[in-house]
């Protein structure tokens, strides 16, 4: 399967979701973005992405985005509780999908993994470690 055939759903088109979309697009992934903010989605649509207006915590929105046939789901919302709920809902809808999620602390990271995420990123932790390393 080439990358253009790989379907990735991104939940959230904030700073993390936007950057992730750019990187995946450069590698020719088939991207669908879900966001609750019409302005953010218009920006994504202007970039040529498939977009779904709605709350990614709702099964119907994930289904509209094609969760049952997607290869991967990237959850980049800035709310840990919502990220956890999306993981639970998505895993229920597609047992085989590869799920990545964003978290702000270790406790939430563990909960996301327990709920079915395959990988959890902690952007604030990485940024803090990079700053610490830069300071010497």
Mean pLDDT of the chain: 90
| Crossing angle (nearest 10°) for helices 38-46 and 15-26 | 20
Is 80 exceeded by the pLDDT of residue 136? no
Whichever domain contains 74, its CATH number is 3.40.50.720
Q: What is the pTM of this model?
A: 0.88
Range of the domain at 23: 3-135
Residue 75 CA to residue 87 CA, distance in Å, equals 8
CA 118 to chain centre: 12
Q: Tens digit of pLDDT for each residue in 37-90?
A: 999 999 999 999 999 999 999 999 999 999 999 999 999 998 999 999 999 999
In sequence order, the 6+-apart residues with CB closer than 8 A to the CB of 39 are none
DSSP summary character for residue 1: -
Q: How many domains does the chain have?
A: 1
CA distance readout (Å), 20 to 59, 90, 136: 23, 19, 29
- Pairing state between β 50-53 and 119-121: unpaired
């Amino acid at each position: 399967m080439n990358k253009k055939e790989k379907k990735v759903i991104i939940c959230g088109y904030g700073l993390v979701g936007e950057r992730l979309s750019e990187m995946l697009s450069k590698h020719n992934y088939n991207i669908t973005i879900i966001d609750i903010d019409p302005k953010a989605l218009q920006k994504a649509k202007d970039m040529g992405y498939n977009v779904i207006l709605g709350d990614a915590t709702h099964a119907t929105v994930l289904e509209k985005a094609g969760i049952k046939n997607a290869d991967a789901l990237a959850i980049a919302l800035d709310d840990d509780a919502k990220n956890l709920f999306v993981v639970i809902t998505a895993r229920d809808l597609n047992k085989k999908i590869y799920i990545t999620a964003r978290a702000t602390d270790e406790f939430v990271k563990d909960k996301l993994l327990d709920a079915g995420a395959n990988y959890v990123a902690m952007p604030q932790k990485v940024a803090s470690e990079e700053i610490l390393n830069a300071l010497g």
